[in-house]
Structure 1
Amino acid sequence: MQSMTSYATEPGLLTGDQKIQAAVLESLAEAANHRRWFAGMATPYLGTHPIEIGSGLGDYAIEWLPYVERYTATEADPERLVDLKQRFADDPRVETREMLLPTDEYGEHTALVSYNVLEHIEDDVAALRSMARLVRPGAPLVLVVPAFPIAMSRVDVATGHWRRYTRRTLTDVALAAGLTVERMEYVNSLGFICYFITARLLGMSPKGGAMMRVYDSVVTPVTRRLERHRRPPFGQSVLAVLRRPT
């Protein structure tokens, strides 16, 4: 695991919002079971050369690399991009680059993956149109976004979220962007309950350490087993598989 961004190594220099942002990334790095579970949702769709929008510190990229021939990792934050480039500097399969959305760029990638990014972009329809232009006609776009406006917390605000989605609102955005919807599901139902209590009701920020490790080793495997055969009516996230029309 690479180091956190430069400001994350000097907590005394962080603002409150930056501390929360750093904690979110750090907790993802510790939550190996959760990360592998969510990475597996996109693995069947990757093809030979996917592009990831919003790679952060590259933790999901590490999970997906064994399944592809080439990989393009992108990041909008300049400091995280430096760390991202350093992490994959010795892997010739990986191209790391800056990507800001919306964009007029075109590409021929076999798939696009983007986890917890769309909610950060004010014009989400334009962002989805931009994403679609980066893949081949008929290729999939696999998205994960936070679910349910009722769960909007200070953590969401501090990390730059414009909104949280439902299956219906994300479907409406996808259709407005000219995409077809293949899957639209809630995932991580127990995670939603935990997040709603801790972040929404109690105002707590994410933390790594023992609590995160216990959650990831106990709650995540149980949730994964429960949702393996039956999709829940609610969840912490919405999983979407969209297609660029042929």
Structure 2
Amino acid sequence: MNTGVGAPDASTAPRAPNLFSPHSITVVAPGSLGHRSAASRRNFADVVAPQCSRTTLAAMPSIEELRGPRVTSSEFAYTGCDNLEAMTEAVNYNRFLIDCVEKHVTSPDLRILDFGAGRGTYADMLAERNIIPDCLEPDAELQKLLLSKGYKVVDCEAEPSESEMYGLIYSFNVFEHIKNDQEASEHLTSLLRPGGTLVIYVPALEMLFTAMDTKVGHYRRYRRTQLNRILRNAGLEIVESRYCDPIGFFATLAYKYAGSDDGTINTRALKLYDRVVFPLSKLLQSVTGKLFGKNVLVVATKA
């Protein structure tokens, strides 16, 4: 379970030639507290990096114009890597997200992209179900890790041919790390084949922005209608849109005002929330999905 709310509406954020900042996937049970700092909003070195992630992004300027100058992995660093590792402890939460992907796998030959793959947490879980995605990930060390696991690591710089376009792209807790999320969604649309599906899961509601968001470099948290608008503007049709984890909403709000200000995940609290509370919270989503929750899930298709 992630918490990350953040900056102003995407439409008000200053535009830049780069699309990404270093991404980190976080899971939050009790939530987080704090204020955003300029230092935490580290952009992926002003480049359209392969956070391009789930790990990433047409009538728009050329790819070169959008990306700006190239940089090496030494010019940026992830924040909150300890939280990224803690993510693996959220068994029920991770299973819920993977179920959201698997339901859209309509063929064993479907080309799938994990946008912002990180350490391969979700790719590994899909692989256990005999579903092998390609991975887009900007961090050079994590790319090596993904390659060592046998995944195809996609070059964000490459323009896919028609036969290389994807039938399904998923992006979990990544868009909040991207400064230009509108351009990112347009790029992802360009990677989708006609009829393809995009599944996006992000932290919800600005009022929940906490130290957790600051620690991992979130620019914003999303309203459901806000994310719908961004994807529609990118040329996609919304199929499903709902808030998730309503109990997590209250847990995060409580943490914001009474919890630690360092943004670190309490692994014990996380595991307790995941095993005991999250299953109940998931059941309540059918009632609260249009109203509130700790995260937003949107499924969209390309005509």
- Give the TM interval when normalised to the shorter protein: 0.7 to 0.9
> Cα distance, 1:52 vs. partner?
0.8
Say whether the 8 Å CA contact 1:53–1:73 is kept in structure 2.
yes
Aligned pairs for 1:203-218 (under 5 A) are 203=261, 205-218=263-276
1:35 aligns with 2:97: no
Structure 1 gap segments, 5+ residues each = 1-15
* Residue 49 of structure 1, aligned match among 107, 111, 116: 111
Aligned residues: 222
Say whether the 8 Å CA contact 2:213–2:263 is kept in structure 1.
no
- Aligned partner of 1:118 in structure 2 is 175
Q: Distance in 2 between matches of 1:231 and 1:61?
A: 29
- Aligned partner of 1:21 in structure 2 is 80
- Aligned partner of 2:202 in structure 1 is 145
Structure with greater contact order relative to length (CA < 8 Å, sep ≥ 6):
2
- Aligned partner of 1:236 in structure 2 is 294
> Cα distance, 1:29 vs. partner?
0.6
The one-letter code of the counterpart of 2:271 is R
Give me the TM-score of the superposition, normalised by structure 1: 0.81
> Cα distance, 1:80 vs. partner?
2.1
Deviations 1:151-194 (A, max 9, x none): 11222122121111101111111121111111110001111221
Taking structure 1 as reference, are residues 67 and 136 closer, same or farther at Cα in structure 2, changes over 3 Å only?
A: farther
> Cα distance, 1:105 vs. partner?
4.8
Say whether the 8 Å CA contact 1:186–1:236 is kept in structure 2.
yes
Give me the TM-score of the superposition, normalised by structure 2: 0.66
Deviations 1:16-74 (A, max 9, x none): 97796113212211111111012212211134221010011111112222455542012
Higher helix share: 1
Q: Secondary structure in 2 aligned to 1:45?
A: coil
The one-letter code of the counterpart of 1:31 is A
The one-letter code of the counterpart of 1:74 is L
1:77 aligns with 2:139: yes
Q: Secondary structure in 2 aligned to 1:112?
A: strand
> Cα distance, 1:75 vs. partner?
0.8
- Aligned partner of 1:225 in structure 2 is 283
Q: Distance in 2 between matches of 1:104 and 1:159?
A: 30
The one-letter code of the counterpart of 2:273 is Y
Q: Distance in 2 between matches of 1:191 and 1:82?
A: 34
Taking structure 1 as reference, are residues 168 and 201 closer, same or farther at Cα in structure 2, changes over 3 Å only?
A: farther
Say whether the 8 Å CA contact 1:49–1:68 is kept in structure 2.
no
Q: Distance in 1 between matches of 2:181 and 2:81?
A: 24
Residue identity (%): 26
Q: Distance in 2 between matches of 1:174 and 1:222?
A: 30
Q: Distance in 2 between matches of 1:68 and 1:236?
A: 30
